[in-house]
C-alpha cells in the first residue's frame, strides 16, 4: 500500500498532466480554427486576412493595416502566413491557469458580409466552417496520452 505522501505526490503529478493536456487541446483547436479561417478569408489588398487578431480572455479591439499590402490578392499568401504566425506566437503562451480563453477577432466592418458570401472567393459561412474544423481537429483527443 502506498504511503499518504507518495499518493499525494502521484495525484499532484496527475493533476499537472491533466492541466497540460487540456491546455494542449485548447491550443490545437485554436490554431486549427485560425488557420482555416485565415486561409478561407477572401483577399484583395490583404486587410481582411491580416485582421484575424488573436488574444487572451477577451475579444481584441481595433483593426490593423495589412501585414503586406497588395492588390488583387497578390500578397494573400504573405498576409495569411503573418496572421497564422501571430496566432501561433500568442498560443504558445496559453495556459488555462493564467488565461481563461483564447480569442480570434476580426473587427473589419465588412467581415460579416464576406462571411455571408459576398465574395466569390469564399463560401458562405466560412467562419462557422473554420470553427467546425477546429472542433474536428480535437474530437476524440485524450487529455492524458
Q: Total domain count for the chain? A: 1
Question: For residue 88, is it within any domain?
Answer: yes
Question: For residue 115, is it within any domain?
Answer: yes
Q: What percent of the chain has pLDDT over 70?
A: 90
Question: For residue 145, is it within any domain?
Answer: no
Question: Is a pLDDT exceeding 70 seen at residue 123?
Answer: yes
Rounded to whole angstroms, the Cα distance separating 45 from 82 reads: 14
The domain in which residue 25 lies consists of 4-138
Per-residue model confidence as pLDDT tens digits over 41-91: 999 999 999 999 999 999 999 999 999 999 999 999 999 999 999 999 999
pLDDT of residue 141: 64
pLDDT of residue 132: 95
pLDDT of residue 21: 76
Number of CB atoms found within 10 A of residue 7's CB: 11
Long-range Cβ contacts of 61-64 (<8 Å, 24+ apart): 61/105, 61/107, 62/107, 63/107, 63/108
Question: For residue 129, is it within any domain?
Answer: yes
Question: For residue 120, is it within any domain?
Answer: yes
Given pLDDT bands bounded at 50, 70 and 90, which one contains residue 18?
A: low
Rounded to whole angstroms, the Cα distance separating 144 from 21 reads: 6
pLDDT of residue 139: 83
Q: Would the pTM count as exceeding 0.85? A: yes
Question: For residue 144, is it within any domain?
Answer: no
What is the CB-side half-sphere exposure of residue 49 using CA atoms within 13 A? Answer: 31
Amino acid at each position: 500500500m502506498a504511503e499518504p505522501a507518495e499518493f499525494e505526490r502521484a495525484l499532484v503529478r496527475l493533476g499537472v498532466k491533466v492541466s497540460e493536456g487540456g491546455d494542449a487541446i485548447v491550443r490545437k483547436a485554436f490554431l486549427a480554427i485560425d488557420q482555416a479561417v485565415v486561409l478561407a478569408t477572401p483577399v484583395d489588398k490583404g486587410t481582411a486576412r491580416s485582421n484575424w487578431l488573436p488574444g487572451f480572455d477577451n475579444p481584441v479591439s481595433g483593426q490593423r493595416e495589412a501585414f503586406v499590402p497588395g492588390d488583387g490578392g497578390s500578397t494573400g499568401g504573405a498576409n495569411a502566413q503573418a496572421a497564422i504566425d501571430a496566432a501561433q506566437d500568442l498560443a504558445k503562451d496559453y495556459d488555462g491557469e493564467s488565461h481563461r480563453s483564447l480569442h480570434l477577432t476580426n473587427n473589419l466592418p465588412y467581415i460579416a458580409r464576406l462571411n455571408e458570401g459576398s465574395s466569390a472567393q469564399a463560401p458562405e459561412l466560412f467562419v462557422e466552417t473554420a470553427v467546425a474544423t477546429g472542433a474536428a481537429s480535437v474530437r476524440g483527443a485524450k487529455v492524458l496520452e
